[in-house]
A and B are shown apart, each in its own frame.
Chain A
Amino acid sequence: MEYTMILLSAGRGVRFGKEVPKQYLAIAGKPMVVHTLENADKIQEIKEIIVVCNEEYFDTIKGYITNYNIHKKIKLTEGGATRQESVYKGLLVAEYDSVIIHEAARPFVSVEDYKKLIDCNCENVTYTYPIPYTVLKKNEDGFISDILKRDELVNIQLPQKFVKQDILKCHEKAIEDQQFFTEDAGMIKHYLDKDVYCLKGQGYNIKITEYFDLLFGEALYREIYMKENV
């Protein structure tokens, strides 16, 4: 199977509170987005990577591709106003029938993690991770309104893989309905009622969202990658 990888890198890092979007900040000396580009570069089944980013960062990404000797075919696409629109723009230029969707803010996905996703027999697959804490529902007035069963819930992790036509159809319907989703596996269930298989993810696959995640990420990287590969 041949895949297009859509790498979401258009976030502005509003929650992060820095001028430079977080995906361009360094972890272990390397820009966050480069960690993903380097690992994806090693996956034979990924035939192209579409980096969805703001146009002002096109040259930055091109520089990374040269400096880090990335060989994969890379396409740069202008991001949208929302995450959903960015995914849609990536899908429109994807060449292959299967897509892997990933985000630059999750730099610690290993080559083995990508392979496991690719090797999974199901067509539509997402990584998930058990929720280790209790989640309650809050009403509009700020009071607890319901108790959610932790065992029935999962935390969605990227990357995910989908049949391109399935996920494209979902995005087109969502545009029509003016519906907004914060990730893509739920769209497949919502619009097509198709199964999305949950692969158990890894605790180290954290999303760098706040400044403290960056500090935590440095420690994770040192523990996992700097010891593992040598």
Chain B
Amino acid sequence: MRTCIITGASAGIGRASAIEITKLREFDNIVIISRREDELQVTKSLMGKDATVIIKPFDVGNVEKIPELISDIYNECGSIDCLLNIAGYTDPQFLLETTEENIYTTFRINVFAPYILCKECAKFMKLNKKNSKIVNIASTAGSTPRPGWSAYAMSKAAIIEMSLTLAEELAPYAIKVYCLSPGRCATELRKKLAPEEDQSKIMQPDAVGKEIARMASDAENCLDGQNIIVRQK
């Protein structure tokens, strides 16, 4: 039995990835995680019948509860083979206006949660006979400056470096770690960063979802340990 865990699966890139991952037919169980159970139900309805879909309503901001969540998933599914760290947060503010709370919340959801998810999943992934995979979603904002986005940009820069380091640390366990940085993409989060933008003219979540599924697939073997930019020119 092979299991894939997807955070942020209630919308945008997370939902698109859940749909594309199901099409791979490489996972028996797909665990979809988000705060919003009703939206997870919608995601599930779009995922088809090629895997058992398990809905876990959970706020990844509750970092201290992540070990229990992952342990429960392992006990329920029997293995953890793939983790897609997609859940994200932003509240763009200029430095002179921002608050401690904003930077803490951004880092809690965008950095600490995926980091602890990697840690807890790796404990079980190291027991697997086959390759396991972790795909962390960063952003082009993590490597290119934009005024007003400092908290988000810092958090995504952290994800890039975290992914590159973990790719080396976890390689001896046959755990491949990927870092995917989408450019502007039509998501709810993007609306907060660029509210005036016409989302019909930019990259759509399903394009990113397809790339994430490619990285999660057994067939992919060469893209780990590097910051891969996915951007519509």
Chain A interface residues toward B at CB < 8 A: 28-29, 38, 67-69, 221, 225-227, 229-230
Contacts and interface: CB of A to CB of B under 8 A. Distances in A.
Which of B168, B172, B176 neighbours the largest number of chain A CB atoms within 10 Å of its CB? B172
Interface stretch (B119-127, B141-149, B192-200): B119-127
B171 interface: yes
Interface in B176-233: 176, 224
Interface of B: 123-124, 126-127, 131, 168-169, 171-174, 176, 224
A226 B131 contact: no
Given A28-B169, A29-B169, A229 B123 contact: no
Contact of B173 (A29, A221, A227, A229): A229
Which of A38, A67, A221, A230 neighbours the largest number of chain B CB atoms within 10 Å of its CB? A230
Given A28-B169, A29-B169, A230 B123 contact: no
A228 to B, nearest CB: 8
Contact of A225 (B123, B126, B172): B172
A69 B176 contact: no
Given A69-B123, A69-B124, A69-B127, A230 B169 contact: no
B174 A229 contact: yes
Contacts of B127: 69
A69 to B, nearest CB: 4
Contacts of B174: 229-230
Contacts of B171: 225-227, 229-230
A226 B168 contact: yes
A225 B127 CA distance: 16
A150 B46 CA distance: 72
Contacts of B124: 69
Contacts of A229: 171-174
B163 to A, nearest CB: 15
A226 B127 CA distance: 17
A69 B126 contact: yes
Nearest to A227: B171
Nearest to A226: B171
9 contacts: A28-B169, A69-B126, A69-B127, A225-B171, A225-B172, A229-B171, A229-B172, A229-B174, A230-B131
A137 B124 CA distance: 52
B172 A226 contact: yes
A9 B123 CA distance: 24
Nearest to A221: B172
Contacts of A221: 172
Contacts of A227: 171
Which of A67, A68, A226, A227 neighbours the largest number of chain B CB atoms within 10 Å of its CB? A226
A120 B77 CA distance: 38
B172 A28 contact: yes
A221 B171 CA distance: 11
Nearest to B125: A69
Contacts of A68: 123, 126
B126 A230 contact: no
A139 B172 CA distance: 47
A29 B169 CA distance: 7
A24 B172 CA distance: 19
B174 to A, nearest CB: 5
A140 to B, nearest CB: 47
